[in-house]
Amino acid sequence: MKERLQSIKQEAITEIEAADTQKSLQDVRVQFLGKKGKITEVLKGMGKLSKEERPVIGQLANEVRDEITASIEEKADLLEKQAIEEQLKEETIDVTLPGRPTHTGGPHILMKTIRDIEDLFIGMGYEVAEGPEVETDYYNFEALNLPKGHPARDMQDSFYITEELLMRTHTSPVQARTLNAHEGRGPVKIICPGKVYRRDTDDATHSHQFTQIEGLYVDEHITMSDLKGTLNVLAKHLFGEDREIRLRPSFFPFTEPSVEMDISCKVCNGDGCSVCKHTGWIEILGAGLVHPNVLEMAGFDSKKYTGFAFGMGPERIAMLKYGIEDIRHFYTNDVRFLKQFHQV
């Protein structure tokens, strides 16, 4: 029986070494260690042995079983490692191949233009103020020296919700609200970016919805020279240090005197071309000294306080700066158009 056990051990080790899959190894386990396996068959014959031989053969059978079990576990670990290595070889990533680019978005060109202007004025000590887009008739018109029935209201076709509520036609109501909040005490130094609405027919240069940035500075001893100096800094920041500005007399109900600001044409450098309509100048924005009536209605003493205000359209700034010919491009969300400005 000893010889039989030794023979079983050698046979088992040989088949374990030959097993090349987990399934074939499991078959070897069943063949030798299962309930009907060869080790069990040997143990069934121990009843024929003498009392002296039984413990010896029993000990030997346990040793053979343990050796076979250890060999099977060792081979199982080896087969598992080999399987993992084969899987890694099949799933190897060739790092020498070029990577797939990740397509990322970027801020809208209008937002870039607005933030650029905001950063400039914040650096000059201004605060960014915001207000509601659904505005009262009082703040949109009356507080800005435009009483009911004033003919200047015809300059701004409006979307009325009720007789006293409308979609704001400019961001000037933010100026009026801010002046009221200061209760007649200066200084007030703000810019007001935001969306505005007018009943325009959409075309290459008009839109029923667009953006504005307005500025207001009220304090003692503010003069037209302060306004011109501020606008000069703005023009050179947006369009280059070689730009010149000029101020032309104009009319706005909420400023007196009022001006239009032009910059020298960057295409022809003032010589005259189709872009500037052969004038050498391009209109950029409107401005002026705050009308005394506006200050008085907000509780400011117009004999003590003066100020200036200005307003511009970021769409027009961006169109001139980047050569965009149609305002509708800003709002149609054509990615082919928008991605041109990701690196601006």
What pLDDT digit, counting tens, does each position of 114-172 carry?
Answer: 999 999 999 999 999 999 999 999 999 999 998 887 776 665 688 999 989 999 999 99
Percent of the chain with pLDDT over 90: 51
pLDDT of residue 278 exceeding 90, the answer is no
**Interatomic CA distance for residues 129 and 69, integer angstroms:** 80
Q: Which residues are annotated as a binding site for Mg(2+)?
A: 256
**Interatomic CA distance for residues 71 and 30, integer angstroms:** 14
Q: Name residue 295's amino acid.
A: L
Burial class of residue 175 (count of CB atoms within 10 Å of its CB; 0-12, 13-18, 19+): buried
Q: Which residues are annotated as a binding site?
A: 256
Q: What is the pTM of this model?
A: 0.69
pLDDT tier for residue 48 given thresholds of 50, 70 and 90 = low
* 87-108 average pLDDT score: 81
Other Cβ atoms less than 10 A from the Cβ of 82: the count is 12
**Interatomic CA distance for residues 135 and 289, integer angstroms:** 24
pLDDT in tens, 178-213: 999 999 998 999 999 999 999 888 898 889 999 999
Higher pLDDT, 62 or 164: 164
